[in-house]
Structure 1
């Protein structure tokens, strides 16, 4: 009786920690697949924002920094969610715009509109989140997704 109780208690404790282990850095499957932050360089960094969505009314620019990128599985694809830090409070009209695909890498740029005359505030108060849903067909052949801001980019592996 005591052995059975101890065994059941042990199994319950082990299973309750599975979610934490799944997201921890000690999980061997997470070692290579974690987000990688890197500075923005090359042709995509030099691409003018006006070339992304042509039109005289679109005054949006790249968000200052990319704080994180996550992918959430949904039936038939994923949701790509990016968190950015704007230069000032009150950034709006955030959108992830696809720049292109190359060699198994899908590249997005994080665009926002900045209000006039607002304060800098804390980093938390300047956070902006944008997301885009991608189907399995759109992700065919894609192994890496890169989201670029003005000063850095974050890359995640699928």
Structure 2
């Protein structure tokens, strides 16, 4: 009981001594001044990546090289759907993988001069498979879906959206 009272007394005296340092630079509450009004910075309100910092080329001391892309086109494209949004459109694609366990599905944009000239927006539906052998399974168990957002700028010059798989491709024309 005597030790706890002594500790409490010492702590009280130490805290009361901090009052004399209230205007000192040692006090953490004085490290920053009071807030001042400032002009807002110009940002685009439609910028989806406004809070993501820009990547520097080369990286830092501990940066890793980009991993090798081991994905392959999906076996068959089953469905292509384009839903309009206020900022552009969302392209949904559903495909059937060659075997079970497909993961990391992504629609990868194919850029070529011919596509740009003809107003074609082409994507390849790519997936990764496990290294170990897996069963083929039922068609329903091999379904994979992915979506990608397209902004208004890309849509203005687009007349055709195409999603390509290993065995087939599906297209959707602008009305």
Q: RMSD of the alignment, in Å?
A: 1.2
Q: Which residue of 2 aligns with 1:5?
A: none
1:35-59, Cα deviation, whole Å (9 max, x unpaired): xxxxxxxxxxxxxxxxxxxx66211
Runs of 4+ in 1 over 6 A off after TM superposition: none
Name the structure with the higher strand share: 1
Once the 2 structures are TM-superposed, how far is the Cα of residue 152 of structure 1 from its aligned partner?
Answer: 0.4
Q: Which residue of 1 aligns with 2:86?
A: 75
TM-score by length of 1: 0.63
Once the 2 structures are TM-superposed, how far is the Cα of residue 157 of structure 1 from its aligned partner?
Answer: 1.3
Q: Which residue of 1 aligns with 2:125?
A: 110
**Where in structure 1 are there 5+ consecutive unaligned residues?**
1-54
Q: Which residue of 1 aligns with 2:164?
A: 148
Once the 2 structures are TM-superposed, how far is the Cα of residue 131 of structure 1 from its aligned partner?
Answer: 0.7
TM-score by length of 2: 0.57
The alpha-carbon distance between structure 1 residues 145 and 117, as it changes in their structure 2 partners (threshold 3 A), is same
Pair member with larger Rg: 2
The counterpart of 1:64, out of the listed 75, 81, 93, is 75
Q: Which residue of 2 aligns with 1:93?
A: 104
- Number of aligned residue pairs: 104
**Where in structure 2 are there 5+ consecutive unaligned residues?**
1-65
Choose between structure 1 and 2 for higher RCO, CA contacts under 8 A separated by at least 6 residues.
1
